[in-house]
Amino acid sequence: MKTLREYIKEAEEKKVAIGHFNISNLEGLHGIYQAAKKLNVPVIIGLSEGEEDFVGKDEAVGMIKQIREKENFPIFLNADHHYSFERVKASIDAGFDAVIFDGANISLEENIKITKQCVEYAKGLGRDVLVEAEIGYIGSGSNIKETIPEGAGIKTTPEEAKNFVEMTGIDMLAPSVGSIHGIIKSGKPHIDADLVAEIKKVTGIPLVLHGGSGLRDEDFTNGIKAGISIVHINTEIRLAYDEALKKSLVDNPGEIVPYKILQPAVEAIEKVVEERLKLFNSLK
Ligand SMILES: [Zn+2]
C-alpha cells in the first residue's frame, strides 16, 4: 500500500483533497470508515488532544492499523492540534502517521522553535511521520460559535508562509486563508483561493484547510483547485452525531441496548462524511 505521503502527493497531482475527520469514539470511526470504503477513497482520522485522551492513543493506533492492514484500506491517523512538543512526541511514539503542532496562538518565535523540534524528532525515526504546523490563528474548538473569535482570522501572507516553511522544514502547512474553526452562526467564512494559490506557489508543500465545517461547496472546490490537499471536518460530524443520538433517545425511550440507540448516530456521521468526501474527491 502507498504511504500517506504518497496519497497526499497523488491528491496534489489530481487536484483533489483527502478528507480528515475527527473521532471521539468507535461509532465515529465506523461511520467515517463506511463512507470512505463505499467511495473507495483514502481517509485520515484525526484526534485532538482531548479526543485522544478519551479514545486512548494506543487504542486509536490499534484500530486504524487493524483496518489498514487487515482490510488493506488506506486509512491513516493524525494527532490533530497538539499544543506541546511532549504531546506531539507521545503521539509519534504511539504510532500515529502524522502530527500537527499548533503554535498559531503563541509567538512566531516560539512556534518556529517548537515546530522545528517536532520536525527533528520525526525525521530521526525509522519510519515516515508527517509533521504539519500552523501559522495564523483561526480560533479553536469544533463547536457552534456566535461570531468569529477575537484575534482570529488574520490571513497568512505568502511571505510569512515561505519563511515559516523554510525555517522549520515541515511537511505540510495549515495557513489562515479565511476559514475559522467551528460553525459560525453570524455568517459563512469565505476561502481566499487566490491566497491559497500564492502560498502554494511559494512554499511548494501540501496545504491543509482547517475549519471546513459550514463552508459553501464552491469555497471547498476553489480552495482545492488552488492547492489545498487535505480538508478538516469536525463540527459537522459532531452536530450530526448529537442530533441523531438525541432523536434516537427521544424516539425510543424504552430502548437500553447501546448499539441500537447509537446506530442512527453512526449513520448520520456516515452521511455527512460521504457528502464531504464526494465533494473533496470530485466524485458524483
Ligand atoms: Zn483544525
Q: What is the pLDDT of residue 187?
A: 78
Instruction: Tell me phi and psi for residue 175, to 5 degrees.
Output: -85, 170
Give the distance (Å) from ligand 1 centre to CA of residue 264: 26
H or E segment to which residue 207 belongs: strand 207-209
3 alpha carbon – ligand 1 mean position (Å): 22
Label the pairing between strands 43-47 and 130-135: unpaired
Q: Separation of 181 CA from ligand 1 center, angstroms?
A: 6
Q: How confident is the model at residue 148 (pLDDT cuts 50, 70, 90)?
A: confident
Q: How far is the CA of 233 from the centre of ligand 1 (A)?
A: 8
pTM greater than 0.95 (yes/no): yes
Measured in angstroms, how far is the CA atom of residue 121 from the centroid of ligand 1? Answer: 22
Query: For residue range 156-207, what is the model confidence (pLDDT) as tens digits?
Result: 999 999 999 999 999 999 999 999 999 988 877 899 999 999 999 999 999 9
C-alpha cell at 5: 505521503
> Does 154 score more than 80 pLDDT?
yes
Which three cell numbers mark 8?
497526499
pLDDT digits 0-9 by tens, 17-39: 999 999 999 999 999 999 999 99
Mean pLDDT, the chain, rounded, equals 96
Distance 210 CA to ligand 1 centre (A): 4
92 CA from centroid of ligand 1 (Å): 18
Do 173 and 208 touch, CB atoms closer than 8 A?
yes
- Name the active-site residue from 53, 58, 80, 217: 80
**Residue 227 and residue 225: Cα distance in Å, rounded?**
6
Question: Would the pLDDT of 139 be above 90?
Answer: no
Has 80 been annotated as catalytic?
yes
pLDDT of residue 42: 98
Q: pLDDT band at residue 111, thresholds of 50, 70 and 90? A: very high
Rounded CA gap, 193 and 221, in Å?
9
User: What are 255-283's pLDDT values in tens digits?
Assistant: 999 999 999 999 999 999 999 999 999 99
